[in-house]
Structure 1
Amino acid sequence: MKAPRIAGLIPAKGPLRPLALATLLSRIGNGLLMTVSVLYFTRIVGLSIAQVGLGLTIAGLFGLLSAVPLGHLADRRGPRTLFVILSLVVCCVSLLYLLVDTFWQFLAVAVVLTIFDRGAGAVRAALIAAVTQGAAGRVAARAYLRAITNIGIMAGAGIGALALHFDTATAYRSMFVLDAALSIVAAFVVLAVPKVAPQPKNEDGPVWIALRDRGYLAVAALNAGMSIHYAVLDVAIPLWVVDHTDAPRWTVALLLIVNTVVISLFQVRSSRGIADPASAARATRTAGLLLLASMVLFAGASGGGVVVAVGLLAAGALVQVIGELLQSSGSFLLGFDLAADEAQGQYQGVWNTSMSISTMVAPTVLALLPLGLGVPGWIILGVWFAIVGILFVPVVRWAAARKARPAAQLV
């Protein structure tokens, strides 16, 4: 099988095409729910913001338990069919939200949904690893699918705005149904991907080799620390713009648009040249320094008038998204290339779990640092990104050297 070539907007003929279409359909559904779900649960179901937040946090904790076991199951049974099954389960469970009218019902559905959804993410990554070959092919595939993800979410948010306009229970619930319908179609589209044979079981070595691989765990931990930056535009910037700068409120939307458009246009291009762990580590080091610069620019926006604030915020968003492009491309390669090929599902479960932990802690970090301390907090956060980025080079070198050792020695 040839590694996928990406040219223009349509990938080369092969397994990446159905994966791309499935990704587009499912991410349109994700964009729908991102737009309406909180308002549905608060305005229609009658839950409080605190209850929604608590429920999603508890569900996230349970979700941490599923990625590695389900990724391991993908290794043993094959990732394609398992991913389709998990996707269909997620669709069915998500529709149960339409029957929720108490906090405990909401919590139960959220926990079950998150467990299967996080597991499906690990299995999907294992499927990508299985149907692509070589570091360059896998990085290019993940970069293309990330660009498609941003396009889909943006389109879904636009459709979800219609429900916000009508602001009725029927309008909100129709978005959940549409999301499920799109996701069901996406799951069956994945069946066009060639079936992947299960990996043979190693009777002599340990079962949970990913959890014993200290090098991989160390790189995953660094990646989680760096990935806190993904929440900056969603969590910190809206409150920073409104409460600490003279920039108009529409600046928040402008910065989000800049981020989404740049990723959609340049994610694939930014992945070129990242072909091995060493180049991925260097790209991540550069990303850390760029993120430091962007945090300084965001901090500076509090000290000027409207023009200065908007200019510094826009410059910060542009610098940040360049760092994001490099960091994400490096992450794509490291997550795949440092993993044992016979246990990609298990390793992708570890990688996805680390990303989930980052997503959970990021709001607290941002609340304590930039939103809590102001300008000094932005600087501390930027220095954190720079230090973590610099650490990638020696830690990745160590992890890559360990990869050549037998699995039984990865302790």
Structure 2
Amino acid sequence: MSDLWQRVRGWRGSVPGGTAGIRLAVLTSIDAVGTGAFLAVSVPFITRSVGLSEGQLGLGLTVSAAIALATAIPIGVLADRIGPKKVLVWLSVWRCAWFVAYPFVQNLWQFLTVVCLLGLVDKASAPMSQALVGQVTKAEDRVRAVAILRSLRNVGFTVGALLGGIGLLIDNRAGYAAILLLNAASFAVLAMLAARLPILSAPAKSLRRRFSVSVLRDVPFLSFTGINAVLTMHMTLLSIGIPLWIVGHTDVPSAVIAPLVAVNTVLAVALQVRASRDTDTMPGVARALTRAGLSLALCCVLLVAAPKLPVVLAVGVLLLAMIALTGGELFQSAGGWGGSYLLAAPKEEGVYLSVFWLGVAVQQIAAPILVSVVVTTGTTGWVVLAALFAFCGLAAPLLCRWAQKRADSRPQPEPEPTPAEAVQP
């Protein structure tokens, strides 16, 4: 028992934020397991059990995504008013309620209703979670904490996908419903844990926060968000670009795709914290984004070479391309997190982080089309994409200095009153 206690104490010491950090880690893991399970069964459930076509499924997801883009900034503004913890609790309750309704969908209109109501809050959870990390950890520990949570999230997605596999094996409505309700239950637990999460900021401080959308006039921050969004295309390369390229343009068996993705997952879990070092300063952020851009450019160049090689050598080159892609992912994530924290205006972190994640969301919608064009055009497309990644990476230092200068020129916020001062007439 004493040995177990020592291990628990050691783990507690490794997570920034102490008890609050551990609770956030548990919260993140539960969320990831539920989401991973949902993603594994959601499409088969809608197409097989509900009987909707792929086009109807795509329509619902597209409309839901559009709604999510429209509501992200208003929710961020609200978080600056009442605090991200309260917002995350209510987001979780909302998602729990509609994921409970998900297994009972019978037709297109019910599906559209449920996914659109879920879309109202779909893009708000990530910035709220990141804002919460900023409230439960010290400034110098924020990026490391997010990196640890990212590693836990990757593990949770894998566990969730395995649980979802049980529903796929059962392959009937009851099996799918059980997995979908498991996801709903995860949001109920998430809401309870988030409600009890201690934060460093005193509750009275949130009352002095104001509604503001000044972020929409912060051109350096918007530019930083844009470059980061371009670099997050590594997600689409992993899920769409590389598989399409292997299947359609090389002699490599498609069975190689799964091990390559596994390499990405293992490296991301093992190295994310290390890649986040020194990204609590803008020079460190700039270096990370430069490395990300050059790594992704190298990945594209290696992919160009794969079709011209014998199968064995092509597999080796694809492995190197996946390692380069993973490097780009790790450095982009760390640089993006660090920069979004450092450049957010005080008392407006909620809306700034919402805009930052909105850039990622826009990329997730536009990138599949762009990457499909790249794969179709072949070598020319990959070379152009490599040049785009390299440009964004090399432009990062100049952009980061510009954004930092803008952030330093902001008026400093008024000091918060002490509780005694707050009650003075």
TM-score bracket, shorter-length normalisation: over 0.9
Alpha-carbon distance in structure 1 between the residues aligned to 2:56 and 2:314: 35
User: 2:308 matched to 1:339?
Assistant: no
Report the 3-state secondary structure (helix = DSSP H, G, I; strand = E; otherwise coil) of the residue aligned with 1:342: coil
1:55 alignment counterpart: 60
The equivalent of 2:141 in structure 1 is 137
1:353 aligns to 2:358 (yes or no): yes
Deviations 1:277-320 (A, max 9, x none): 12111211111111111111122222223212211111110111
Q: Which segments of 5 or more consecutive residues in structure 2 lack a partner in the other structure?
A: 1-8, 413-425
Contact 1:42 1:49 in 2 (8 A): yes
| SS of the residue 2:121 aligns to | helix
- 1:139 positional shift: 0.5
Matches of residues 58-69 of structure 1 in structure 2 within 5 Å? 58-69=63-74
Aligned partner of residue 341 in structure 1, secondary structure = coil
Residue 201 of structure 1 and its aligned partner are, at CA, apart by: 3.8
Deviation at 1:8, TM superposition (A): 9.1
1:188-211 Cα deviation digits (max 9, x unpaired): 1223311552435467xx822222
1:1-400 aligned within 5 A: 11-12=15-16, 13-134=18-139, 136-195=140-199, 196=201, 197=203, 198-201=205-208, 207-370=212-375, 372-400=376-404
Partner Cα distance (1:222, 1:22) in 2: 30
More displaced stretch, 149-158 vs 223-232: 223-232
Instruction: Give the aligned residue type for 1:324.
Output: E
Contact 2:82 2:207 in 1 (8 A): no
**Equivalent-residue separation in structure 2 for 1:275 and 1:6 (angstroms):** 24
Shift of 1:126: 1.7
**Does the residue aligned with 2:122 lie in a helix, a strand or coil?**
helix
Aligned partner letter, 1:179: N
Post-superposition offset of 1:321: 0.3
Task: Name the CA distance, whole Å, in 1 between partners of 2:251 and 2:11.
Answer: 42
**1:187 CA displacement:** 2.2
Per-residue CA deviation, residues 369-390 of structure 1 (Å, 9 max, x unaligned), is: 12x1122212211111111111
Distance 2:362 2:215 in 1: 17
SS across alignment from 1:66: helix
1:406 and 1:400 map into 2 onto residues whose CA distance is 10
| Equivalent position SS for 2:124 | helix
How much does 1:257 deviate? 0.5
Q: 1:315 to 1:216 in 2, by over 3 A?
A: same
Cα distance, 1:103 vs. partner?
Answer: 2.2
User: C-alpha offsets along residues 310-354 of structure 1, whole Å, 9 cap, x if unaligned?
Assistant: 111111101110121111100010111100121111111111111
Question: Are 2:212 and 2:348, in contact at CA under 8 Å, matched by a contact in 1?
Answer: no
Distance 2:244 2:391 in 1: 26
**Residue 280 of structure 2 contacts residue 342 of structure 2 at CA under 8 Å; is this kept in 1?**
no
Change (3 A) 1:7 1:213: farther
SS at match of 1:247: coil
Distance 2:71 2:93 in 1: 17
Deviating more after overlay: 107-116 vs 191-200: 191-200
Say whether the 8 Å CA contact 1:70–1:122 is kept in structure 2. no
State the alpha-carbon separation in 2 of the partners of residues 207 and 10 from structure 1.
36
- String of CA shifts for 1:7-58, please: whole Å, max 9, x gaps: 6995252311111001101100111111111111111111111221222122
The 2-side partners of 1:295 and 1:43 are apart by: 37
Which residue identity lines up with residue 114 of structure 2 in the other structure? V
Q: Do the aligned residues in 1 keep the contact of 2:209 with 2:348 (CA within 8 Å)?
A: no
Q: Quote the Cα distance in structure 1 between the aligned partners of 2:11 and 2:34.
A: 26
Distance 1:397 1:200, change over 3 A: farther
Note the C-alpha offset of 1:149: 0.7
> In terms of mean alpha carbon deviation, does 88-97 or 117-126 score higher?
117-126
Deviation per residue, 1:153-177 (Å, 9 max, x gap): 0111111111222211111111101
- Secondary structure (helix, strand or coil) at the match of 1:369 reads helix
Partners of 1:20 and 1:313 lie apart in 2 by 33
Deviates more, 1:118-127 or 1:263-272: 118-127
Q: 2: distance between equivalents of 1:64 and 1:129?
A: 23
Given the superposition, is the C-alpha separation of residues 44 and 292 from structure 1 closer, same or farther in structure 2, using an over 3 Å criterion? same
Letter in 2 for 1:157: A
3-state SS, counterpart of residue 288 of structure 2: helix
> Which stretch of the first structure deviates more once superposed, 386-395 or 123-132?
123-132
| Contact 2:251 2:311 (8 Å CA) reproduced | yes
Q: Which is greater in Rg? A: 2
Indicate how the Cα distance of structure 1 residues 9 and 288 shifts in structure 2: closer, same or farther if over 3 A, else same: farther
CA distance in 1, matches of 2:240, 2:110: 27
